Structure 1
Amino acid sequence: MPHGRYYWLCCLCLFAFLGGAHHNEPAMIPLGAEEGIQHPLAFSSSWQILGPFQIGTREATWGSDPLEFIGGFRKLEYEEGAQYRSSIGTNGAVKWSLLEADTIETDTVGSSASLSLNFPHVNWTFFRGVYGWAALQYQAWARGEIFVSADRAQTVIIYTDYVLEFWIDDTHYFGGDFYAFRRSPLVIALKPGAHRIDVRLVRDVRAMGGVSEPSINIKLDAKLASGSLELANDGILMADVVNETLASEWASVTVRNSGSQDIEVVDIECSNEWTSVDFQNTEKFIVSAGQTRPIPFRVLSQRPRYSSLDIIIQHKLNNIAGNPSILAVSELFTKRSIYHPHKITFLHPGGVVSYAILRPPSENASYHSNQKRPFPILLQLHGAGLEADSDLVTHALDSLPDLCAWVLFPTGVTPWSGDDWHNWGFADVEAAVAAVPHWIKAVQWKGADLDTDRWLVSGHSNGGQGTWYTLTHKPDRIIGAAPVSGYTSIQNYVPYELWQPMDPRQFAILGSSMNSYRHELLVENCKGIRILQQHGEDDDNVPAYHSRLMCQLLYQANSSSEYFELSGQGHWFDGVMTTKHLRKFYEEQVKSTTNPVETLEAFSIVVANPGDMGFKGGIRVTQLEIPGQYGRIDVSFNTTSSAYAFKTSNVLSFEVQSSLMRFPYTVIDQTDVEVTSDSSKPPPRHIEFWRASARGWQAGRLAEPGVLHRHGRQLGALDAIMRTKGHFTIRHHNGDTSSIALQISRNLFQYFSADSAIVNLEFDGDDGSGNIFTIAIGKRVCPGLDSNFPIHLEGSSLVIRDSEGHLQRYEGSNGLAAIFLRPLEDEKLELVVWGIDKDSLVLAARLVPMLTGVGQPDFIVLSGSCRWKGAGGAVAMGFFDHSWNVTKTSFFT
Structure 2
Amino acid sequence: MVGNFPNRYGREAVYTDELAWRLYNGTLAKPVAGDTVGRTEKGLPIFWQPVEADSTGRLRLARTRSGGAPAGPGVQAGNLRGGLGAAGGYTYLTYDAPAATTALLTCKGNSAVYVNGELHAGDPYSMGFLHIPVQLRKGLNEFYLRGMSTSASLSFSKKAVALATDDPTLPFVVPGLQGATQQGAIVVINSSSKPIAQLRLTATLEGQTVETTISGIPAMSSRKVTFRFDGSKVSAKGKYNCVLQLRQGSKSNKGSKDNNLLDEAIVSIEASDPGAPYTSTFESGIDGSLQYYAVNPAGGTANTSFATQPNQALFFSVHGAGVEAINQARAYKAKDWGTLVAPTNRRPRGFNWEDWGRLDALEVLSIARHRYQPDPARNYLTGHSMGGHGTWFLGATYPDQWAAIAPCAGYPTLKGYGSADGLVPDSSNNPLEQTLLRAGNQSDVIKLARNYQPLGVYIFHGDADQTVSVNYARQMRQLLGGFQADLSYYEYPGGSHWFSDESVDWKPIFDFFRWHKQLPDSGVNKIEFSTANPGISSRFRWASIVQQHQPLQYSSINLVRNKKGNAITGKTTNVATLQLALDEFTAGTNLSITLDSLPAVTYTTHSNSDSIVLTKTGNRWTIGTYPAATDKNPNRNGTFKDAFRNQMVFVYGTTGTKEENAWAYEKARYDAETWYYRGNGAVDIIADKAYDTIRYKDRGVILFGNRNSNTAWKQLLGDCPIQVSRNEVSIGQQRWQGDSLAAYFVWPIRNSKTASVAVITGTGIKGMQVAMANQYFAGASGFPDYMLFTYDMLTKGAGGLLAAGFYNNSFKIVQ
CA distance in 2, matches of 1:877, 1:469: 26
Q: 2:294 aligned to 349, 357, 362, which one?
A: 357
> Are residue 462 (structure 1) and residue 411 (structure 2) matched?
no
Are the counterparts in 1 of residues 533 and 551 from structure 2 also a CA contact under 8 Å?
Answer: yes
CA distance in 1, matches of 2:807, 2:788: 14
1:30-179 mapped onto 2 (5 Å cutoff): 47=1, 49-51=2-4, 53=6, 55=8, 57-58=10-11, 62-65=15-18, 68=21, 74-75=28-29, 77-78=31-32, 80=34, 82=36, 84-88=38-42, 91-103=43-55, 110=78, 139-148=88-97, 151-169=98-116, 171-173=117-119, 175-179=121-125
Question: CA offset at residue 305 of structure 1?
Answer: 7.3
Give the 3-state SS of the residue equivalent to 1:628 in structure 2: coil
- Unpaired segments ≥5 residues, structure 2: 58-73, 251-257, 303-308, 656-660
Q: Give the corresponding residue for 2:703.
A: 774
Relative distance call for 1:101 and 1:270 in structure 2 (3 A) is: closer
Q: 2:651 aligned to 730, 741, 751, which one?
A: 730
CA distance in 2, matches of 1:249, 1:345: 8
Give the 3-state SS of the residue equivalent to 1:748 in structure 2: helix
Q: Give the corresponding residue for 1:715.
A: 637
Question: CA offset at residue 255 of structure 1?
Answer: 1.0
Q: 1:327 aligned to 253, 259, 263, which one?
A: 263
Question: CA offset at residue 226 of structure 1?
Answer: 4.1
Relative distance call for 1:415 and 1:111 in structure 2 (3 A) is: farther
Amino acid at match of 1:774: L
Q: Give the corresponding residue for 2:622.
A: 697
**Once structures 1 and 2 are overlaid, which stretch shifts more, 552-561 or 272-281?**
272-281
User: How many residue pairs are counted as aligned between the two chains?
Assistant: 762
Q: Deviations over 1:665-712 (max 9, x none)?
A: 222333322345555xx845x543333579633154236xxx931333
Are the counterparts in 1 of residues 114 and 145 from structure 2 also a CA contact under 8 Å?
Answer: yes
Give the 3-state SS of the residue equivalent to 1:394 in structure 2: helix
CA distance in 2, matches of 1:438, 1:267: 32
CA distance in 1, matches of 2:813, 2:156: 50
Are the counterparts in 2 of residues 457 and 467 from structure 1 also a CA contact under 8 Å?
Answer: yes
Are the counterparts in 2 of residues 311 and 328 from structure 1 also a CA contact under 8 Å?
Answer: yes
CA distance in 2, matches of 1:234, 1:691: 56
Relative distance call for 1:768 and 1:265 in structure 2 (3 A) is: farther
Q: Deviations over 1:531-571 (max 9, x none)?
A: 00112223232222222222222223445322222333222
Give the 3-state SS of the residue equivalent to 2:403 in structure 1: strand
Q: Give the corresponding residue for 2:729.
A: 798
Q: Give the corresponding residue for 1:556.
A: 482
**Once structures 1 and 2 are overlaid, which stretch shifts more, 192-201 or 817-826?**
192-201
Q: Give the corresponding residue for 1:386.
A: 323
> Are residue 740 (structure 1) and residue 672 (structure 2) matched?
no
Question: CA offset at residue 488 of structure 1?
Answer: 1.3
CA distance in 2, matches of 1:538, 1:112: 43
Are the counterparts in 1 of residues 85 and 91 from structure 2 also a CA contact under 8 Å?
Answer: no
**Once structures 1 and 2 are overlaid, which stretch shifts more, 216-225 or 604-613?**
216-225
Give the 3-state SS of the residue equivalent to 1:634 in structure 2: strand
Q: 2:398 aligned to 474, 495, 507, which one?
A: 474
Q: Give the corresponding residue for 1:206.
A: none
Give the 3-state SS of the residue equivalent to 1:451 in structure 2: coil
**Once structures 1 and 2 are overlaid, which stretch shifts more, 622-631 or 376-385?**
622-631
CA distance in 2, matches of 1:486, 1:116: 38
Q: Give the corresponding residue for 1:233.
A: 165
Give the 3-state SS of the residue equivalent to 1:75 in structure 2: coil
CA distance in 2, matches of 1:83, 1:229: 41
Relative distance call for 1:823 and 1:227 in structure 2 (3 A) is: farther
Q: Give the corresponding residue for 2:464.
A: 538
TM-score by length of 2: 0.85
> Are residue 428 (structure 1) and residue 340 (structure 2) matched?
no
Give the 3-state SS of the residue equivalent to 1:834 in structure 2: strand
Relative distance call for 1:433 and 1:193 in structure 2 (3 A) is: same
Q: Give the corresponding residue for 1:574.
A: 500
Amino acid at match of 1:341: P
Q: Deviations over 1:837-869 (max 9, x none)?
A: 233213223146222243322211111101111
TM-score by length of 1: 0.78
Q: Give the corresponding residue for 1:348.
A: 284
Are the counterparts in 2 of residues 653 and 690 from structure 1 also a CA contact under 8 Å?
Answer: yes
Amino acid at match of 1:375: Q
Are the counterparts in 2 of residues 473 and 613 from structure 1 also a CA contact under 8 Å?
Answer: yes
Relative distance call for 1:643 and 1:676 in structure 2 (3 A) is: closer
* Identical positions, percent: 19
Give the 3-state SS of the residue equivalent to 1:420 in structure 2: coil
Q: Deviations over 1:188-212 (max 9, x none)?
A: 12134332222332xxxxxxxxxxx
Relative distance call for 1:336 and 1:823 in structure 2 (3 A) is: same
Q: Give the corresponding residue for 1:267.
A: 200
Relative distance call for 1:543 and 1:592 in structure 2 (3 A) is: closer
CA distance in 2, matches of 1:432, 1:114: 45
Question: CA offset at residue 166 of structure 1?
Answer: 3.0
Amino acid at match of 1:721: A
Relative distance call for 1:810 and 1:503 in structure 2 (3 A) is: farther
Amino acid at match of 1:293: R
Give the 3-state SS of the residue equivalent to 2:347 in structure 1: coil
Q: 2:248 aligned to 315, 321, 324, which one?
A: 315
Give the 3-state SS of the residue equivalent to 1:144 in structure 2: strand
Are the counterparts in 2 of residues 113 and 219 from structure 1 also a CA contact under 8 Å?
Answer: no
Amino acid at match of 1:711: N
> Are residue 222 (structure 1) and residue 154 (structure 2) matched?
yes
1:625-774 mapped onto 2 (5 Å cutoff): 625-638=549-562, 641=565, 643-661=567-585, 663-665=589-591, 666-670=593-597, 671-678=599-606, 683=609, 686-691=611-616, 696-702=621-627, 708-722=630-644, 724-733=645-654, 735-736=661-662, 737-762=664-689, 765=692, 767=696, 770-774=699-703
Q: Deviations over 1:323-354 (max 9, x none)?
A: 74443344343221221111111121121111
Are the counterparts in 1 of residues 292 and 344 from structure 2 also a CA contact under 8 Å?
Answer: yes
CA distance in 2, matches of 1:238, 1:383: 20
CA distance in 2, matches of 1:537, 1:522: 26
CA distance in 2, matches of 1:756, 1:569: 43
> Are residue 291 (structure 1) and residue 221 (structure 2) matched?
yes
CA distance in 2, matches of 1:432, 1:404: 20
Relative distance call for 1:220 and 1:475 in structure 2 (3 A) is: same
> Are residue 607 (structure 1) and residue 531 (structure 2) matched?
yes
Question: CA offset at residue 291 of structure 1?
Answer: 2.0
Relative distance call for 1:757 and 1:81 in structure 2 (3 A) is: closer
- Unpaired segments ≥5 residues, structure 1: 1-46, 120-138, 202-215, 366-371, 441-448, 802-806, 889-893
Q: Deviations over 1:74-109 (max 9, x none)?
A: 336436363622124xx5433433232324869998
Q: 2:312 aligned to 375, 378, 385, which one?
A: 375
Q: Deviations over 1:426-466 (max 9, x none)?
A: 222232233346766xxxxxxxx633674211111110111
> Are residue 819 (structure 1) and residue 744 (structure 2) matched?
yes
CA distance in 2, matches of 1:699, 1:476: 26
Q: Give the corresponding residue for 2:764.
A: 837
Give the 3-state SS of the residue equivalent to 2:539 in structure 1: coil
Give the 3-state SS of the residue equivalent to 2:810 in structure 1: coil
Amino acid at match of 2:498: W
> Are residue 881 (structure 1) and residue 814 (structure 2) matched?
no
